[in-house]
Amino acid sequence: MKYTKILVGSLFLAWLGFQPISAHAEKEVEHVSVFYKSEAGKELVLDQVEDAKKLDAIDAVVGTFSKEEIKKLEASKQIEVVHTGTRKLRTQDVGLPVPFANFTTNWNQQLITVQNAWQKGLDGQGVKVGIIDSGIANHTALPKVQRKTIISDSSQITYASSATSHGTFVAGIIAAQPGKAGNVIGVAPGVELYSYNIDGKDGADLIDFMTAINYAIQQKVNILNISMGISQADLLLPNEKVSDNPLYIAVKKALDADVMVVAASGNDGRNQIDYPAAIPGVVAVGSVEKTKKLSYFSNTGSVLDLVAPGTDITSLAYSGGTSTGSGTSFSTPHVTGLLALLKQAYPKESAKQLENRLYANAIDLGVKGPDSIYGYGLAQFSSKILTASVQPVESAAAKYVRVNQSKIKTIVQNMNNKKTVHYVKEFIPLYTVTNQLTKAQKTSVEVYRKKVGATIVSSTQKSSRIKATNYTTLKTKKTSTWIWATPVKKSTVRTSAYAVYKDGAKVSGFTFSTSASGKYTTVKATKTLAKGTYYMTLDPKNVRTTKNKTVKPVIVKYVVK
């Protein structure tokens, strides 16, 4: 078995290998992905192309465009990203019977103590689990599977039954029925499985991956298992930012929809996590052996969250019966299954709350506390995991600081040495996690804030420059108004100049509009807000007042309880 790697335009399952595919015509460009910001942006895209694939759940359209049309879209303020080029993802692998709870299990399930859940009557019933992978074979141990093949390039489709081997193996770890295939039983055999087959002959295409994410959101899937990955080097085009890549944007859309995304760390045995596992918010899973020792092939890195059994795992074979395989492809579905059991037990808890339960109850391995080798530790269904409430192992702000230590150090050094620091992308993230910084770092950030003249306003901090409404009631009111003492010139304010950050990370789900007079800025929350402090800012670059004066930075703080 192998691990698929993800490429821009194509995805790799959790096996090894990568082959980019070029698909550019002389005058027209195929495989173009366009993410829009508004309905006006969507209409603009559809006006440019006749045969388009609309992915409404992730605010995207894919199709073939002329180079002139691409330039027009790139210049529009209503368009978030226009992405061209192709890449491949590859897989990563080198109401039940009464006797169910007493079923004899294999070592991997014993290691994650899943019997604790079964004995409490939990099997994942009522939970929808999506598997973005190869197809899943018709197997007697997998009676509840809804299947959809999403391979846009017909030449990449293979009808050989062996093409379903990887997806079937993954599905068996999650949901194999007891007594149908020897000792193999899924971690959560009661779940509803949704199979999104995107694995072509040469890997999985990025556009097909986006389409699968779109379907998963539309079908209200609770958890997505992605035993696929791609390195950052293979994923990005020259000079491309990760946050502008369609893979990143599509996964973020799923996370914003409160879908739990669980992905394989990769099988290269290196200190760098593959994508999409490396995306903030995704549960990144590494692999351990029976002895709880890290598998030799398992990728490590600061964003790793958990490890689970992934060496010499027995699961379902596409031809019937069982087979054995290794890879982070197969450690990943163990965690997916555990989250499904927790979702059944606590159907009203958010994705983050359920993930925190798993993190808090993991068996700490290696050095004390979260680390880059084992993350929070070995995932398990401990006897204490169903307690009334579980606090995060570490706050989101603390995790951001831990994961980004090197980056933070560089930014602070640049502040101290009076070198260029990007106000929105570098200063604002640090300002939102100030309480987690060292005393010296806090001082540097505050000195820089005063240097650039950033004004802070909140329910407890006032300013004559700007006022705002609903500092502490934004969650219920859904809107806030900024009132500028000196109006800003609307024509100089780009929509993209507004940004929202929380715990070091940029947050989506808000719209900003400036009144014609420039006196007011209206903020609207388009999704339910999680608990915490939100920092909203306006990038002052090129912004002028109605008196044609420069505008100093402002930071508006909102507290959601």
For the chain, give the number of residues.
561
312 classed as catalytic = no
Q: Specify whether the CB–CB gap between 79 and 2 falls below 8 A.
A: no
Cα–Cα distance for residue pair 333/322, rounded to 1 Å: 16
For Cα atoms 273, 342, 117, give the angle at the middle one, nearest 5 degrees: 110
Residue 370 in tokens: 């979260």
Given 59, 133, 208, 234, the catalytic residue: 133
Q: Exactly one of 33, 329, 382, 480 is catalytic; name it.
A: 329
First-to-last C-alpha distance (Å) of the chain: 47
Cα–Cα nearest to 49, from 36, 31, 66: 66
User: Distance between CA 99 and CA 48 in Å, rounded?
Assistant: 60
The reply to whether 31 belongs to the active site is: no
* Nearest to 274, CA basis, from 83, 503, 15: 15
Ordered alpha helix ranges (H), 361-438 = 396-403, 405-416, 428-432
Find the catalytic residue in 31, 83, 139, 166.
Answer: 166
Strand, coil or helix: 225: strand
Helices 328-345 and 165-175, interaxial angle, to 10°?
40
**Annotation says 274 is catalytic:** no
How remote is the C-alpha of 191 from its chain's centroid? Answer: 22
* Residue 475, phi then psi, degrees to nearest 5: -60, -40
Q: Which two tokens stand for residue 343?
A: 């979702």
Cβ atoms within 10 Å of 500's Cβ, excluding its own: 21
Q: Which sequence positions are flagged as catalytic?
A: 133, 166, 329
